[in-house]
Amino acid sequence: MKKAIRVLLLSNMGPSKNKPNSGRFIMNQYTSLKKYTDLDMNYFYLDQEKKSGLLRLFRYPLFALHFLFKYIFSVKKLDIIHVHFFFPNILLAITYKILRNWKVKIAVTFHGSDIYSYSPPSGIYKKCIDFVDESIFVSDELKARFFKQVPCTVLSAGVNEVFYQKHEKSSFKEKQYDVVFVGQLDKNKGIERLEKILIAFPCKIRVAIVGDGDNTFIERVKNNKNVSISYFNSCNPQQLVTIYNSSSMLINLSYNESFGLVMSEAMACGALVVATQTDGASTQVADGKNGFLIPNQDGSVCSSTINAIQRILSMSEKQYASMSDSATNTAQKYRLSVVAKQIFNMYTKLQAKNFNDK
């Protein structure tokens, strides 16, 4: 009987009770890959539960110790370690390789923060890449930012199949929301930009906001009587599907976005995307075809976003339907099933190298 390839997904961003959607794209990959009978999938992650005191101070050392005790002393050897978020997680994979199984193959998916936050990279960061057998970047633009050009695959994290379910298309002017914003309510995701846009918005608009974080700005926005806001702290995928299908467009105002699955999810549901020019938006949004790209400078984001939103809301049904179809078509190549198949093929190739090394 053919031995299943023993794979470990390793990440420092996993779900917790208070943050169930943290790292959900990795959990989705894990769930999808578990369906392959040729794989023995394992998943080890650091949850994002808020810690205090010493637990907060030692959360990473404890994560590392737990990994070492669980896998260094395991009876079964791993064939492949697939690291999500390169640094510092790669250090654990390298430690396993040196102490437990020198033949283990290491694959890495670079998601963005593991590059943006380490520029310029340290010497140890640069040295770690020598241990990587397969590199995956979630966009071409992100790959171009890496400190050296390496053989790699460009592959998104994959959009959950639930976002591709068929739905009845209604008049976009009859949708419940004109605009939806989905993401962590923090500076990088552009929450301050969103506040300025809504405070200045000159006509009636219905907005859905989905995200965890500081939502106190909503009270300040209420001073603009043109804006009606529905706020959702967090949503499961099916709830998001309902909101996307009820929205004419998604706005993404990030300063840095390596890919941005929320854009793919919204487009899979037929919503247009208005986004600042980030690595992820430039990969997915074809300006004027499935949405609009706006300059990523604070001085012009507010006026440019307002103009783009008004432009969409003033479209004819035919114009909107054409762009909506384009958005849906764009999202097809980012389906989780497509991504999982490519990852499975990568694992098979790496395992073949393992046999050749014996």
Distance separating alpha carbons of residues 8 and 283, to the nearest angstrom: 29
Over residues 291-322, the pLDDT tens digits come to: 999 999 999 999 999 999 999 999 999 999 99
pLDDT at 169: 72
The span from the CA of 259 to the CA of 264, in Å, is 9
DSSP reduced 3-state for 87: coil
Residue 167 has pLDDT above 80, yes or no: no
Q: What's residue 300's pLDDT?
A: 95
Mapped onto helix, strand or coil, the DSSP state of residue 3 is coil
Q: What is the pLDDT of residue 278?
A: 97
CATH code for 161-333? 3.40.50.2000
Dist. CA 257–CA 282, nearest whole Å: 10
Length of the chain: 358
Mean pLDDT of the chain: 93
Closest CA to 253 of 213, 212, 329, 304: 304
- Residue in the structure block whose two tokens are 């080890």: 44
Q: Which of 235, 244, 246 is nearest to 211 (CA)?
A: 235
| Same CATH fold assignment for domains 5-158+335-357 and 161-333 | yes
- Class for domain 5-158+335-357, per CATH? alpha beta
Please report the pLDDT score of residue 19 as a whole number.
76
The DSSP letter of residue 186 is S
> DSSP class of residue 122?
P
Residue 333 has pLDDT above 60, yes or no: yes
Q: What is the pLDDT of residue 165?
A: 84
CB-neighbour burial class of residue 296 (10 A; exposed 0-12, middle 13-18, buried 19+) = buried
Determine the longest span between alpha carbons in the chain, in angstroms: 70
State residue 21's pLDDT score.
76
Residue 57: band (very low, low, confident or very high) from pLDDT cuts 50, 70, 90: confident
Q: What is the pLDDT of residue 17?
A: 77
Q: Average pLDDT for residues 162-177, to the nearest whole number?
A: 84
* pLDDT at site 2: 74
Between these two residues, 15 and 86, which has the higher pLDDT value? 86
Q: Quick check: 170 pLDDT over 80?
A: no
Q: Which of the two residues, 290 and 1, has the higher pLDDT score?
A: 290
Sequence ranges of the domains in the chain:
5-158+335-357, 161-333
What is the band of 1 on the pLDDT scale with cuts at 50, 70, 90? low
In the chain, count H helices and then E strands. 15, 12
Spatial strand order of the sheet with 80-84 comes to 39-47, 5-14, 80-84, 105-110, 134-137, 152-154
Residue-by-residue DSSP string for 132-170:
-SEEEESSHHHHHHSSS--SEEE----B-GGGG------
Q: Band of the pLDDT at 18, cuts 50, 70, 90?
A: confident
Residue 47 is which amino acid?
Answer: D
For residue 207, what are the β-bridge partners?
Answer: 179, 229
Residue 219 has a pLDDT of 95
Question: Which amino acid would we find at residue 49?
Answer: E
Residue 131 pLDDT > 90, yes or no? yes
**CB within 8 A of 116, min separation 6: which ones?**
145, 256, 258
- Cα–Cα distance list, 29 to 23, 157, 214 (Å): 10, 7, 29
Predicted local confidence at residue 209, as pLDDT: 98
Instruction: Identify the residue with better confidence: 78 or 167.
Output: 78
Whole-number Å distance between alpha carbons of 343 and 333: 14
Q: Which residue has the higher pLDDT, 140 or 172?
A: 140
C-alpha 285/C-alpha 281 separation (Å) is 5
Tens digit of pLDDT for each residue in 231-262? 998 899 999 999 999 999 999 999 999 999 99
